[in-house]
């Protein structure tokens, strides 16, 4: 892998939950990794959900291999917050392709 192609900064965040004085759960996001990536947009699709039109954009982020990623984590790229939907190891722990989506629903 050519690590010089990792030219875009991304942030991987993980949620933590705490309870306040009234026992209400509060979710906060903290930075798990702030790393370099090679970004490519995979596709954009339209789908109808309960009468709404959904625009789903999907990206692939190639990063140096990292361990411990969870589907409940999220990714911040270009001021957008994306849902991580999967990942795939490249080589023998050389790199990781992270797949993430951004969903905008218009009524």
- Each residue of 54-94: pLDDT tens digit? 678 899 999 999 999 999 999 999 999 999 999 999 999 99
Contact 87, 60 (CB under 8 A): no
Q: Would you give the distance in Å from CA 73 to the centre of its chain?
A: 7
Contact 101, 58 (CB under 8 A): yes
Model's pTM, two decimal places? 0.81
Mean pLDDT over 100-104 rounds to 81
- Each residue of 6-52: pLDDT tens digit? 889 999 999 998 888 888 888 899 999 999 999 998 777 666 666 66
For residue 107, pLDDT beyond 60: no
Contact 84, 60 (CB under 8 A): no
């Amino acid at each position: 892998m050519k690590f010089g192609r990792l030219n875009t900064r991304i942030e991987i965040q993980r949620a933590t939950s705490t309870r306040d004085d009234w026992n209400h759960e509060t979710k906060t996001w903290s930075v798990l990794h702030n790393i370099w990536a090679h970004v490519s947009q995979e596709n954009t699709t339209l789908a109808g959900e309960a009468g709404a039109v959904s625009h789903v954009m999907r990206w692939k982020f190639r990063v140096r291999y990292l361990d411990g990623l969870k589907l409940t984590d999220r990714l911040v790229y270009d001021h957008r917050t994306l849902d991580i939907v999967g990942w795939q190891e490249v080589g023998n722990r050389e790199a990781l392709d992270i797949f993430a989506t951004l969903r905008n629903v218009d009524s």
